[in-house]
Amino acid sequence: MNAKIVKDIDSGIFTETTISDLPGPKQKPLLGNFTQISPESFHTNLEQWAEEYGPAYQMKLLNKQYLVISDPKIGLEIIKQRPKLFNRTERLEWLFEDLGFHGVFSSNGDKWKRQRRLIMPAFSYSTLANFVPHLKSLSINLQTAIDQKIATGEAFDVHRLLQHFTIDITTSLVFGYQTNMLSGNTDTSLRDNIDRLFHALNKRGKYPFPWWRYIRTPEARRVDKAREEIYQLAVSMIAKAKRELADNKALEEEPETILQAMIVASDSDDNKLTDDELFANILTLLLAGEDTTSNMLAWTLYYLSQSPTLQQQVIDEVSRVCNGDIETLDLAALEQFELIEAVLREGLRLKGTAPLISAEPTEDTVLSNGIKLPKGTAIFILTRPGGLDEKVVECPQQFNPERWIAKPEKPVCPHLQSSHIPFGAGARHCPGERLAMMEGKAVIARLCWYYAISQPEQAPEVGEEFAFTMRPTNLQLTLTPR
């Protein structure tokens, strides 16, 4: 190859190279590394190869070549240059478009800019502040559901209850629809449909072309049916929100739901979100709000179950902030939960619910580590390895929330913060981070206050499953009333 010397952003010296010159796992003719990848362990497959082949390596799925980056500095360099120099991959766009929720998450260019501008007011401080009483009410519903199962001696799945909680929260906040999953609603169709779409995203993500458009398998038809049922629900909710806004002009100043806020932000024909765009973003919020938040909470409880001392520290913080009574919880209290936020962020460092970020350059470019990227190169950025780097994080495998709490004698390491990007960074930073942390703080505070959290004796080893997000498997927890 024709090599030349370039310098990276920290003045390190690299040799300019192409992706084909990089190391990577051995490929089979035609298939590449396709048969070596399991959809359920996709993230760990890529992480294991990063340990073997280094912070930048190549792989191929069928005829599609990928660059995989685990160096947090290079990953952040790419993420922060979105959307000007890097976009979501074209493959991700048609994956989401096929499933009916090609909204702000998967869009690129002007379409992304327009939708982002119209959606951001829905996540404003005032909108979320108005929702805190409802968040508290649904947190109490979660506690009630747990108490009922404890009283009957029934074995129950805490993670499943957390999924019910987050789906109740998300549907209520997004469009004012009461699913009442925690209250015993036996109609699980919405939850099942969301789960089916998540698994479809995961399985289809391996393929460089949308074969299911042409080969209509029974599973493909079930996925279409799930999408259609959610679509019909969303259409009815859009019509309902428009009627509410027409009947009550005060809602234009203080929207009660994210859907109302999105409609209000569409203040002219030029800016207006179409019903299809509203549906796409509603579905995106349902998927992201339900699955990522329930996974974050489940992983956090898993780590808390291993430390009664840490649970007591959480109780002490709640008692101090809420003057000894958690039922006085309000937005001001949530914002003062420094330790609980540290617990959540430490859980995300070790078990991030979004272990992969995809990107592709919008033009030919060269990364600061010297890798030449032709326009459209498919990239996977691994988000977990940076937070496990022992050069940055002391005892990286240890769950230690204290590392996130700044003290006069020991500020939070800025390299740790830049290596830990569970909600992305730059212009495409996840708008739902504040809401996710509000939900997380409310639930962790309540569960630690009312229950001792532990693992049963001889509990199976907890595993990881990739289903577009990363969720725990075999997670067994025991909640004992205090």
* 10-residue stretch averages of pLDDT, the chain, 482 residues long: 42 74 94 91 96 96 92 92 86 78 74 76 77 89 93 84 89 82 78 84 78 89 90 87 90 83 72 78 77 93 96 97 94 94 95 91 93 94 92 90 85 73 82 88 97 91 89 93 92
> Which pLDDT belongs to residue 178?
81
Among residues 69, 90, 40, the alpha carbon closest in space to that of 367 is found at 69
Q: What CATH number should be reported for the domain holding residue 407?
A: 1.10.630.10
In which domain, by residue range, is 238 found? 5-481
Distances (CA, A) of 299 to 41, 139, 352, 371, 472: 17, 18, 9, 35, 7
> Which pLDDT belongs to residue 402?
92
Q: Domain total for the chain? A: 1
